Amino acid sequence: MPFPTKFPTYPTKGHFVDYLDAYYVSKFGLEPQFNQTVESAAYDHTLGSWRVKTVGLEEISYLSRWLVVATGENLEAVVSVIEGTNDFEGPVLHTSSYKNGEEFSGKNVLVVGCGSRRMEI
């Protein structure tokens, strides 16, 4: 499903959430389950499907042809040690602390990294 034409070239997190809600939750009737932890996931060759068991607010078992693993591993702040950073007098922050570009307006900024969050910034 393509992004709506009204979206900017580089959509924000809010745009992306709106897109997921409008095009996947509403259109396909998906009901995301939050506060659940995957306890096990195994492919059942007999059924040709994945068996997934989650625990959290309740225990849920799923059976699906497809399994998408989105671990969120990039949410862990890993700050690279870069020579000279301690001598730099400006702000140095990890993308997990970034909220918007207001404090950087009109300034030269160096963004290090190549993940989607860094590209958004």
DSSP for the chain?
-PPPTTS-SS--HHHHHHHHIIIIIIHHT-----SEEEEEEEEETTTTEEEEEEEESS-EEEEES-------GGGS------TTGGG--S----GGG---SGGGTTS-------SHHHHH-
Domain residue limits at 100: 77-121
62 and 100, same domain (yes or no): no
27 and 45, same domain (yes or no): no
Cα–Cα distance, 33 to 54 (Å, whole number): 10
63 and 82, same domain (yes or no): no
Q: What is the mean pLDDT of residues 55-70?
A: 87
8 and 39, same domain (yes or no): no
Cα–Cα distance, 26 to 12 (Å, whole number): 20
50 and 88, same domain (yes or no): no
97 and 58, same domain (yes or no): no
Q: What is the pLDDT of residues 73-104, one digit of tens each?
A: 666 677 777 888 888 888 888 887 888 888 88
> How many domains in the chain?
3
Cα–Cα distance, 97 to 80 (Å, whole number): 15
4 and 20, same domain (yes or no): yes
44 and 64, same domain (yes or no): yes
Q: What is the pLDDT of residues 20-54, one digit of tens each?
A: 888 888 888 888 888 888 899 999 999 999 999 99
